[in-house]
């Protein structure tokens, strides 16, 4: 028999055992719930990680799209103010921007009040070659007889007409009464065939193709129309004229190259042309009075060396260009100066696409210096004082420091690589870009070369591509001649008539006729 104490202990033990079992059960249930919650947490963690990966992918896509939008907006913002894009390529829905350094006056376009009107003056009586009387036989109102009075109105007209000449050249044969020898003048080289086109026709065909940029087949049609159908040179004949004219100008080209080698400043640039559906190159060397062109298959150093201009220039020569890195090759001795027009457009592009303050500040700084230089030149000065030059480069250095800081704050934009390249170029070629600050005799831009090559682009638009490199070379040679003649006050048609007579102008003749070299 259990004592009362033992019974109490057993009773309490049973109660505690029940409590323990209950607690164990509850604990097991809690453990099961914890395990379930841990599984749910793990699932949610994995879902969150997956969501974060998806979000990161979407954010990367959004950033890529933002950069693409910025790039495309940058392309849309490109015009003549921040690139070399010609105004002819302005989209139809966009206002055409024509870069111009002139300051607007606010006046209307055209002739200003008090400015003399440009018009033809009436002929003197001795100048009149033809009279056309516009009168009446009878009164237009009643049909009555008319009486001439002394009052009349005179209007002069200046015009010209093409007269077709069918010229026959006769070479008589003689017998000397003294020695009996038969003699006859030698036939000119331009009269080899039974019948041939004269020098006026030849010169007009060459002018249409090389000055007017008319295609060869259209040039023949124009001449046919002018002559009322009597003169119609074929495409093949005009092509032969091109080759013949280029051959006659070889001495002129050699003389031109020698003259360019004596210049203190040489402008040069090249542009893309198309030859038989492939990209090729037309290159220019010269100055305000000399224009020398060469055509090549590629825009490379091999072509430059073949021209034999840059390799022969002395150390004292300055060459103006649009940052053609070929020019900095160790094979050459001359000094390089860089075009500031291209630099200003590049700075404007950085300011437009990246909203960089440094680019806008540097552009303003350069333009101010150019304006000050022009004012100084008008005042007869030949250079800035040393203080101005020192201040110019001091501020330039300060702006370049700010450029580096601005670039580091946001270096990941789509256009930032080009910005960094521009900053490095400015630091490395500072003296080449701003040589004109210290010496007024040096040019600021290479616009002369760009203008010289612009006609080749017009030729591409109007006449299309060249059939082969040979004909591209003919065009370059003839262009050198007519362009140099034009720059020295000789009309292109006059120059071509001399050429077709196998007596082209020489470079010395052109330079001496229009003033001192």
- Given a contact cutoff of 8 angstroms between Cβ atoms, the answer to whether 453 and 282 are in contact is yes
* Token pair belonging to 339: 């075009």
At 416 the pLDDT is: 84
Residue 71 has pLDDT above 80, yes or no: no
Q: Where are the alpha helices (DSSP H) in 183-234?
A: 199-210, 216-226
Enter the tokens of residue 122.
């009436």
Confidence of residue 99 (pLDDT cuts 50, 70, 90): low
**pLDDT band at 517; cut points 50, 70, 90:** very low
Backbone CA torsion sign across 480, 486, 488, 491: positive
Given a contact cutoff of 8 angstroms between Cβ atoms, the answer to whether 372 and 389 are in contact is no
Question: Mind listing the pLDDT tens digit for each residue in 160-183?
Answer: 888 999 999 999 999 999 999 999
- Tokens 């719930």 belong to 33
Distance CA 124, CA 184 (A): 47
Mean pLDDT for all residues in the chain: 89
- Take residue 243 and report the two structure tokens written for it: 């080759």
Query: Could you tell me if 248 and 272 are in contact, meaning their C-beta atoms sit under 8 angstroms apart?
Result: no
Transcribe 264-311 into DSSP letters: SEEEEEEEEEEETTEEEEEEEEE-SS-EEEEEESSSSHHHHHHHTSGG
Yes or no: say if 341 and 389 are a contact pair by the CB < 8 Å rule. no
Q: Are strands 182-183 and 174-175 parallel, antiparallel or unpaired?
A: antiparallel
Above 60 in pLDDT, residue 516?
no
Q: Give me the pLDDT at residue 412, please.
A: 64
pLDDT band at 370 (very low <50, low <70, confident <90, very high): very high
- Long-range pairs of 177-181 with CB within 8 A, sequence gap ≥ 24: none
How far lies 24's CA from each of 14, 136, 443, in Å? 15, 137, 98
How many H helices and E strands in the chain?
A: 16, 7
DSSP state of 321: E
**Distance in angstroms between the alpha carbons of the first and the last residue of the chain:** 146
Distance of alpha carbon 482 from alpha carbon 510, whole angstroms: 11
- As a whole number, mean pLDDT of residues 391-406 equals 94
Q: DSSP strand E in 114-194: where?
A: 174-175, 182-183
Q: Determine what percent of the chain is predicted with pLDDT higher than 70.
A: 92
Give the C-alpha separation, 264 to 268, whole Å: 13
Q: What is the per-residue pLDDT across 402-460, written as a single tens digit (0 to 9) for each? A: 999 988 887 666 678 889 999 999 999 999 999 999 999 999 999 999 999 999 988 88
Please state, in angstroms and rounded to a whole number, the distance separating the CA atoms of residues 317 and 499.
32
pLDDT digits (tens, 9 = 90+) for 201-216: 999 999 999 999 999 9
Is residue 345 within 8 Å of residue 83, measured between CB atoms?
A: yes
The percent of residues above 90 in pLDDT, for the chain, comes to: 63
pLDDT for 515 beyond 50: no
Cα separation of 463 and 390, whole Å? 51
What pLDDT shows up at residue 149? 86
CA distance 142 to 144: 6
**pLDDT at position 496 over 90:** yes
pLDDT higher at 200 or 63: 200
Least confident among 150-164, 212-226, 324-338:
150-164
Considering only CA atoms, which of 478, 140, 438 is closest in space to residue 318? 438
Helix locations, 355-385, DSSP H: 357-378
The more confident residue out of 468 and 15 is 468
pLDDT at 89 over 80: no
Judge whether residue 102 has pLDDT over 80. Answer: no
Instruction: Check residue 514 and give its pLDDT.
Output: 52
**What does the pLDDT look like over 104-137, one tens digit per residue?**
667 777 777 777 877 889 999 999 999 998 988 8
């Amino acid at each position: 028999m259990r004592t009362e104490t033992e019974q109490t202990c057993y009773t309490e033990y049973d109660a505690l055992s029940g409590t323990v079992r209950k607690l164990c059960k509850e604990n097991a249930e809690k453990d099961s719930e914890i395990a379930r919650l841990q599984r749910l947490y793990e699932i949610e963690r994995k879902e969150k990680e997956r969501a974060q990966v998806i979000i990161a992918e979407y954010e990367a896509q959004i950033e890529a799209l933002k950069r693409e939008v910025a790039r495309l907006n940058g392309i849309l913002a490109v015009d003549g103010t921040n690139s070399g894009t010609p105004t002819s390529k302005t989209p139809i829905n966009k206002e055409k921007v024509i870069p111009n350094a002139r300051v607007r006056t606010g006046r209307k376009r055209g002739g200003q009040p008090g400015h003399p009107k440009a018009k033809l003056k009436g002929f003197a009586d001795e100048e009149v070659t033809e009279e056309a009387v516009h009168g009446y036989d009878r009164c237009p109102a009643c049909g009555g007889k008319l009486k001439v009075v002394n009052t009349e109105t005179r209007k002069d007209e200046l015009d010209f007409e093409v007269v077709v000449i069918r010229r026959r050249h006769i070479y008589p044969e003689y017998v000397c009464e003294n020695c009996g020898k038969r003699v006859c003048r030698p036939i000119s080289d331009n009269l080899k065939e039974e019948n041939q086109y004269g020098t006026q026709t030849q010169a007009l065909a060459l002018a249409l193709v090389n000055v007017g940029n008319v295609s060869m087949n259209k040039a023949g049609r124009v001449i046919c129309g002018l002559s009322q159908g009597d003169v119609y040179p074929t495409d093949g004949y005009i092509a032969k004229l091109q080759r013949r004219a280029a051959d006659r100008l070889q001495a002129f080209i050699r003389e031109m190259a020698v003259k360019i080698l004596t210049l203190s400043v040489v402008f040069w640039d090249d542009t893309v042309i198309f030859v038989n559906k492939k990209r090729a190159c037309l290159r220019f060397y010269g100055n305000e009075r000399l224009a020398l062109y060469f055509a090549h298959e590629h825009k490379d150093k091999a072509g430059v060396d073949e021209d034999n201009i840059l390799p022969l220039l002395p150390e004292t020569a300055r060459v103006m260009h649009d940052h053609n890195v070929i020019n900095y090759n160790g094979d050459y001795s001359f000094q390089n100066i860089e075009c500031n027009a291209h630099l200003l457009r590049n700075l404007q592009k950085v300011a437009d696409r990246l909203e960089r303050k440094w680019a806008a500040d540097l552009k303003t700084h350069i333009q101010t210096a150019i304006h000050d230089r022009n004012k100084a030149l008008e005042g007869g000065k030949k250079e800035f004082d040393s203080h101005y030059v020192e201040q110019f480069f001091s501020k330039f250095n300060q702006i370049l420091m700010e450029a580096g800081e601005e670039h580091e704050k946001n270096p990941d934009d789509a256009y930032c690589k080009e910005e960094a390249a521009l900053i490095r170029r400015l630091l490395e070629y500072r003296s080449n870009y701003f040589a004109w600050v210290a010496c007024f005799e040096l040019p600021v831009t290479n616009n002369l070369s760009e203008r010289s090559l612009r006609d080749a682009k017009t030729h591409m638009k109007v006449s299309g591509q060249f059939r082969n490199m040979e004909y591209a070379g003919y065009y370059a040679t003839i262009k050198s001649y007519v362009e140099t003649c034009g720059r020295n006050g000789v009309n292109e048609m006059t120059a071509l008539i001399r050429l077709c007579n196998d007596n082209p102008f020489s470079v010395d003749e052109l330079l001496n006729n229009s003033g001192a070299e």
